[in-house]
Amino acid sequence: MNYSMLVYILGSVIKIEGIFLALPSITAVIYQEKCLWAFLITMISCLAIGIGLTWKKPSNMAFYSKEGFLAVSLSWVFLSIFGCIPFVISGEISSFTDALFETISGFTTTGASILSDVEALSKSMLFWRSFTHWIGGMGVLVFILTILPASGGHHMYLMKAESPGPSVSKLVPRVKQTARILYSIYFVMTVIEIVLLLAGGMQLFDAVTLSMGTAGTGGFGVLNDSVGSYTHYMRNVITIFMILFGVNFNVYYLLMCKKWKQAFRVEEVRTYLGIILFSIVVITFNVRSFFPSIGEAFQQAAFQVGSVITTTGYSTVDFGQWPQLSQSILVLLMFVGACAGSTGGGIKVSRILIMVKSIKRELHTMAHARMRMKIKMDDHVVEQETLRSIYVFFICWLVVFAGSMLLVSVDNFDFTTNFTAVAATLNNIGPGLSHVGPSGNFGDFSLFSKYVLMFDMLVGRLEIFPMIALFHPGIWRRQ
């Protein structure tokens, strides 16, 4: 274990967070808010600690898989702890547990909230909530990879541990260049959405915060009704960008390189868009009696489907009041999630595809014992190591889900609340059904259950293994 490198990375994360805190501080100055001092204290503390931990570079800059897992998991824990401090010392969320829940929900792009009155927060705190989505969407470690000094190919372990999906590949030979390309695409898409929302008449503050929430597929809004108060045009823009941010960013790189055929042949993206279209059509006809026109029903269905499958979590209506068929489809979409390599959460479409193909292969083997069928994605054979990691992921995911369900059930809420609360946090969605639906929140859960759900948010965002690695004694041993 290269502890010196681990400390250096954690120091870099804390230092970068201190720099990020300058933006909500500027927001507080613009709106002349008293909570400015809360951001300044936290910013100075982060910079002091971060500079202290990174003052001297380690002599050995190399790190491997276990260092990568620990660096990522601990980075997200420390990021969340320091990130919740402004809420606590300003008194806007006085409970440390609630502030930590809100912050973890922000960084993991979950969007689950303990707040019953979002509009009671100051503008700078609302900005910080949404900004945590933007930071966490692409991943803070991916950002740091753009500025850390190169160390061979070892940085790939950080990207693999933090990036969602069954496998991570470099777009270009150097990891630093890959990280910069990803963040460039991410930034440009965010700016385009802001411009389009401004063109529709949205206020600058709302356009920026909602675009950051959309980009990170997080879902923190600045109004109590999420995005229900905005115009049809604004909701349509948000719908389109939620779906776009749920696409594998490798596809955008292929489009940038004018590899049109290769981009449009990506099987996962075609399946992802097919699931969205099918779900929208079914839900539209299922809820048409709830709205004055079929067009309105289509728009509402498209928004909710896009919000749930990308795990963004914005809402325009309380879909807990919709027919059971529509609710069931939306709950299933919670588990499916977006594409690998996107900012979305969930199990991921690629994993679902590979599992379906695995079942098909088993059935084929039963019928034709002497024939061996290979599993392919985009005309490439899926390696056995990838298949093994997906199978293990599903097993661990089910264990975490079942265990969390049992633990939060001590609060004695109804089954729908417990089931969708765990589903919403483990899949980084935000709203569930019943008590945790779009019109509810997570504030009524006990302190114990909130920590269980916080763990689920981190496990879901980091895709289980980095967080579980913290509890394995062997990974901490110095070798």
Tokens of 288: 């048409």
Query: Would you give per-residue pLDDT tens digits along the chain (479 residues)?
Result: 677 888 888 998 899 999 999 999 999 999 999 999 999 999 999 999 999 998 887 776 666 667 777 888 898 999 999 999 999 999 999 999 999 999 999 999 999 999 989 999 999 999 999 999 999 887 766 666 555 554 444 455 455 544 554 554 545 445 667 777 888 899 999 999 999 999 999 999 999 999 999 999 998 999 998 898 999 999 999 999 999 999 988 889 888 888 888 888 889 999 999 999 999 999 999 999 999 999 999 999 999 999 999 999 899 988 888 999 999 999 999 999 999 888 888 899 989 999 999 888 888 888 776 667 788 887 788 888 888 888 888 999 999 999 999 999 999 999 999 999 999 999 999 888 889 988 889 999 999 999 999 999 999 988 888 888 888 776 666 65
Whether residue 200 contacts residue 234, with contact meaning beta carbons closer than 8 Å, is answered with yes
Whether residue 151 contacts residue 61, with contact meaning beta carbons closer than 8 Å, is answered with yes
Question: Cβ atoms within 10 A of the Cβ of 117, count?
Answer: 8
Whether residue 411 contacts residue 445, with contact meaning beta carbons closer than 8 Å, is answered with yes
Tokens of 454: 């916080």
What is the gyration radius of the CA atoms in the chain, in angstroms? 22
Tokens of 147: 């500025």
pTM: 0.91
d(CA 103, CA 349): 27
Whether residue 434 contacts residue 416, with contact meaning beta carbons closer than 8 Å, is answered with yes
Q: Which helix (H) or strand (E) holds 201?
A: none
Q: In sequence order, what are the residues at sequence separation of 6 or more whose Cβ sits closer than 8 angstroms to the Cβ of residue 388?
A: none
Strand partners, 380: 377
The pLDDT of residue 83: 96
The pLDDT of residue 443: 92
The pLDDT of residue 331: 92
Q: At what angle do helices 324-336 and 415-426 cross, to 10 degrees?
A: 30
